[in-house]
């Protein structure tokens, strides 16, 4: 029997049926024929390439596999993604985008930890993973419009972003909520300033910069509150976000410097919010009140709502400060508001093109008044204001 026949028989048996019996039969066929291993891996790379054609990106696929399956499946998928990328250039895109390349760099670490197992277990994991890949829905393609170059003015490893990362790392490490929120406010201020500088530079150099998009995971539990937090961070950084609840991510649309800012700040604020919530729960337990799901949901929802206001105030203050510099003769300052307005329109147009039909959803489970009050207080401790511009 040829290796192709073995794989075909296994697929016909196991991929299009959801029963454990079918899965065991298909895995047994593959485990019994060691010569089918190469063909099985080749088919896996084809499934991965099919996911890219349906709009998925490496991080999306790994995140979804981690949500639906086990670590063994995630490591196997990582290996297939790396192998698919290393195929001859005529079979793939020769120049992945910087964001795509960054995702591949992270996935390579997973691919290097493929654990040893018996042939039947490996075949079972492969078939379960291929079932998942085969049924991935089509997503909105996030590539830039054809014929439009990516931004040439953004430098992901700039000194500004190095400093922002440092501030957020300190915010996550400190045990004092007030200090954490002050550091986050300072990070948002630097992000807003960086966004303004990038916008003015693009306008002055007439760079054909267009909005891009990225997907950020929104994982359970309390994913509704987390999606609200991500939306608040996105809006404060001149981006638009839409949540795909069934697939566990939000798509954020904006210019590249702002997208990176959103990813950094959302991840950090999520850590900080969880820390603040844990401390608030400990205080509640000392007072004799049991920890509840509604307390946590209400806490995170209030935190997201209030921190969004704080971040927006910081961003608006930076715009006002820069625009106000026009009266002092600062170069380009007088052009800031029209430039930002044009970029806001471009982001909204790109968002509408990707998502012409969106609906709003109501935050459920926010019924704990104490949780809401303490979540709002945790966010309100950041008394943000405009600080002097750095030399």
The closest of 221, 198, 235 to 351, measured between CA atoms, is 235
The Cα 173–Cα 272 span in angstroms is: 9
**What is residue 78's predicted lDDT score, i.e. its pLDDT?**
96
For residue 293, pLDDT beyond 80: no
Query: In which element (H, E) is residue 164 found?
Result: helix 159-173
Each residue of 145-173: pLDDT tens digit? 333 334 433 444 467 767 777 877 887 78
Q: Which residues contact 114 (CB under 8 A, 6 or more apart)?
A: 75, 76, 78, 79
Q: Which residues contact 9 (CB under 8 A, 6 or more apart)?
A: 26, 29
The Cα 84–Cα 107 span in angstroms is: 12
The packing angle between helices 119-134 and 58-68, to 10°, is: 120
CA distance from start to end of the chain: 74
The Cα 213–Cα 244 span in angstroms is: 14
**What is residue 386's predicted lDDT score, i.e. its pLDDT?**
34
The Cα 68–Cα 388 span in angstroms is: 48
% of the chain residues with pLDDT over 70? 77
pLDDT band at 65 (very low <50, low <70, confident <90, very high): very high
Each residue of 85-111: pLDDT tens digit? 988 755 555 566 788 888 999 899 888
Mean pLDDT score across all residues of the chain: 80
Contacts 24+ apart (CB under 8 A), 8-14: 10/36, 10/123, 10/127, 11/43, 11/127, 11/130, 14/127, 14/131
Between 140 and 92, the more confident residue is 140
Q: Tell me the sheet residues that pair with 215.
A: 251
Each residue of 317-362: pLDDT tens digit? 878 887 766 544 455 555 777 888 889 999 999 999 999 887 776 5
Across the range 272-282, mean pLDDT stands at 81
Distances, alpha carbon 180 to alpha carbons 89, 115, 170, 348, in Å = 46, 39, 7, 32
The closest of 187, 209, 229, 212 to 318, measured between CA atoms, is 187
pLDDT band at 379 (very low <50, low <70, confident <90, very high): low
The Cα 56–Cα 136 span in angstroms is: 9
Q: Are 364 and 224 in contact (CB under 8 A)?
A: yes
């Amino acid at each position: 029997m040829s290796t192709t026949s073995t794989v075909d028989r296994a697929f016909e048996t196991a991929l299009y049926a959801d029963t454990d019996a079918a899965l065991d039969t298909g895995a047994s066929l593959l485990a019994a024929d060691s010569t089918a291993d190469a063909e099985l891996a080749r088919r896996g790379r084809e499934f991965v390439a099919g996911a890219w054609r349906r709009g998925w990106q490496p991080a999306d696929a790994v995140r979804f596999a981690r949500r639906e399956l086990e670590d063994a499946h995630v490591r196997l998928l990582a290996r297939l993604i790396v192998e698919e990328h290393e195929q001859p250039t005529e079979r793939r895109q020769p120049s992945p985008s910087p964001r795509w390349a960054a995702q591949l760099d992270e996935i390579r670490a997973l691919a290097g930890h493929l654990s040893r197992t018996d042939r039947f277990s490996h075949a079972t994991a492969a078939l379960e993973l291929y079932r998942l890949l085969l049924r991935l829905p089509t997503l909105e393609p996030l590539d830039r419009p054809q014929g439009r170059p990516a931004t040439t003015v953004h430098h992901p490893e700039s000194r500004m972003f190095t400093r922002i990362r440092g501030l957020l790392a300190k915010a996550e490490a400190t045990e004092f909520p007030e200090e954490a929120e002050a550091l986050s406010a300072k990070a948002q201020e630097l992000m807003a300033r960086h966004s303004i500088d990038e916008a003015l530079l693009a306008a002055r150099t007439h760079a054909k910069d267009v909005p891009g998009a990225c997907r950020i995971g929104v994982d359970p539990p309390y994913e509704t509150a987390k999606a609200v937090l991500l939306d608040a961070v996105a809006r404060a950084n001149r981006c638009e976000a839409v949540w795909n609840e069934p697939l566990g991510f939000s798509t954020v649309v904006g210019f590249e410097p702002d997208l990176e800012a959103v990813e950094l700040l959302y991840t950090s604020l999520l850590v900080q919010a969880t820390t603040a919530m844990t401390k608030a729960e400990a205080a509640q337990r000392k007072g004799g009140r049991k920890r509840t799901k509604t307390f946590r949901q209400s806490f995170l929802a209030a935190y997201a709502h209030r921190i969004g206001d704080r971040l927006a105030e910081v961003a608006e203050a930076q715009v006002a400060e820069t625009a106000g510099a026009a009266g002092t003769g600062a170069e380009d300052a007088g052009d800031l508001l029209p430039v930002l307005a044009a970029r806001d329109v471009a982001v909204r147009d790109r968002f509408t093109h990707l998502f012409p039909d969106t609906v709003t959803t109501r935050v459920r489970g926010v019924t704990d008044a104490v949780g809401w009050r303490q979540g709002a207080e945790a966010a309100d401790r950041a008394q943000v204001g405009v600080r002097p511009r750095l030399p």
